[in-house]
């Protein structure tokens, strides 16, 4: 869609709903997205504008609508401060310590996240090699908020009042080219926040976008900086790659760029040692993607992590007298490196250790445990990856054969009936 020149037209397209917009003018693309926007997000923006504030739909919601996908959430950006937003919406709460934003709450647990415009923090020139952002807590204007975002496709603002997309960073051309590109120098942006490297892979995989050559080269150049990122964020981004419905493409890119060497060297070494015709992991990831699309929701976290690490884990347990202990030793470095929660690590150890018995139809007492549904799903993924069926595996106790296992609630214990005590003589 051709852009609209900033100087024209008359009629207020370039005017803020409340006050003249300062700073550089955006390129304007007339397009009507209102019918596709969540009605509650529309209510939030309309009320803010009515009260004299700027308010736009921003980020992934705009991007997904433009590429024909269904957004998972609709975020609003405004020049209203958090206390102002809280005052306008009784059904809201202020969250966050490092940076305060407002959750406007609607029925069914729906949340419209409303954030005040921010600008990029001033960097300390005393250490030019250390660009890591440690404070991102400064209010700004709309154009500054767009410029501080990571990728051009995520920095588009939608003006509901005038039905136009505002583009300060060249995001619309990248949407049309289906390309992931950073705002500014990719090497600088990745050193500021190394997790952006994983986000680039996520968007490329999920949206089926290419990665610009400059960004690709910077990802390779900056891959070692991932070791400096916060561990919980790294693990969270890996989970997002497994959940996104394009895990095969995402982890292939991780391996090709050399990021697996930093995040999961155990898996990277295992893949490097495999013969060319061995593709079990990639077929497993295909099955995860297929099941994610079929269900319209991601698989359980224990299942996802167990499947990702199953092959090298099985190799580590092979021939061990205590398979659970062997799995424990293998996973310990990964748990420390990525801050993997114990609630995930412990079940993964046990499930992988029992998997050979399960595939052989010898579940035994494990069938009574709360982990059996997860183990059954992993075994099913393996069977489908091999083009087989799991006719010999028993369903969880209390379910008829072939019934799907819903959730991973703890198994109920059966009460023993007490024998009546003999009457005293």
**What digits encode the pLDDT tens for the residues 214-223?**
999 999 999 9
- Average the pLDDT over 146-162 and give the result: 96
Buried b (16+ CB within 10 A) or exposed e, 306-335: bbbbbbbbbebbeeeeebeebbbebbeebb
- In this prediction, residue 195 carries a pLDDT of 96
Integer angstrom CA distances of residue 82 from 14, 47, 48, 60, 137: 25, 15, 12, 21, 13
CATH code, residues 1-177? 3.30.460.10
CATH code, residues 232-411? 1.10.3090.10
Backbone region of residue 156 per phi and psi (left: phi > 0; alpha: psi in -120 to 50; beta: other values) = beta
**What digits encode the pLDDT tens for the residues 359-383?**
666 777 778 888 888 988 998 898 8
- In this prediction, residue 22 carries a pLDDT of 67
Domain boundaries, the chain: 1-177, 179-229, 232-411
Tokens of 376: 């059954």
135 pLDDT exceeds 60? Answer: no
- Tell me which residues are annotated as active site: 73, 75, 150
131 pLDDT exceeds 70? Answer: no
Residues 6+ apart with CB under 8 A from 194: 132, 222, 225, 226, 228, 229
Task: Say how far residue 249 (Cα) sits from the centre of its chain.
Answer: 15
H/E stretch holding 290: helix 280-295
**What digits encode the pLDDT tens for the residues 15-27?**
444 444 567 899 9
Lowest mean pLDDT among 80-94, 216-230, 389-403: 389-403
């Amino acid at each position: 869609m051709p852009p609209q020149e900033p100087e024209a037209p008359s009629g207020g397209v370039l005017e803020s709903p409340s006050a003249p917009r300062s700073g550089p003018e955006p390129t304007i693309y007339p397009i009507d997205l209102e019918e596709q926007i969540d009605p509650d997000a529309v209510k939030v923006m309309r009320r803010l504008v009515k009260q004299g504030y700027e308010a736009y739909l921003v980020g992934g919601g705009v991007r997904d609508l433009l590429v024909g996908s269904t957004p998972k959430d609709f975020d609003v950006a405004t020049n209203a401060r958090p206390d102002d937003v809280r005052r306008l919406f009784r059904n809201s709460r202020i969250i966050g310590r490092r940076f305060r934003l407002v959750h406007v709450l609607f029925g069914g647990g729906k949340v419209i996240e409303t954030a005040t415009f921010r600008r990029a923090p001033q960097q300390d020139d005393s250490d030019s090699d250390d660009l890591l952002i440690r404070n991102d807590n400064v209010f700004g204007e709309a154009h500054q908020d767009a410029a501080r975002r990571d990728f051009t496709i995520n920095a588009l603002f939608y003006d509901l009042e005038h039905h136009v997309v505002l583009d300060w960073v060249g995001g619309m051309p990248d949407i049309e080219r289906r390309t992931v590109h950073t705002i500014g120098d990719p090497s600088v942006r990745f050193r500021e926040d190394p997790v952006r490297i994983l986000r680039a892979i996520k968007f490329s995989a999920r949206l089926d976008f290419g990665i610009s050559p400059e960004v690709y080269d910077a990802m390779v150049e900056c891959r070692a900086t991932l070791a400096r990122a916060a561990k919980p964020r790294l693990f969270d981004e890996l989970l997002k790659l497994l959940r996104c419905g394009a895990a095969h493409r995402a982890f292939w890119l991780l391996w090709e760029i050399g990021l697996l060497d930093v995040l999961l060297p155990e898996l990277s070494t295992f893949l490097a040692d495999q013969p060319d015709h061995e593709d079990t992991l990639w077929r497993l990831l295909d099955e995860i993607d297929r099941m994610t699309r079929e269900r319209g929701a991601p698989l359980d976290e224990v299942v996802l992590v167990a499947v990702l690490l199953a092959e090298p884990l099985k190799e580590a347990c092979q021939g061990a007298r205590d398979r659970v202990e062997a799995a424990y030793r293998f996973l310990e470095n990964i748990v420390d490196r990525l801050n993997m929660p114990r609630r995930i690590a412990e079940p993964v150890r046990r499930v992988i250790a029992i998997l050979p018995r399960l595939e052989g139809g010898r579940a035994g007492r494990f069938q009574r445990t709360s982990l059996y549904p997860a183990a059954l799903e992993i075994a099913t993924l393996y069977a489908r990856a091999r083009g087989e069926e799991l006719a010999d595996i028993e369903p969880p106790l209390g379910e008829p054969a072939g019934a799907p296992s819903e959730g991973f609630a703890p198994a109920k214990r059966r009460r023993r009936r007490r024998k009546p005590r003999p009457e005293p003589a």
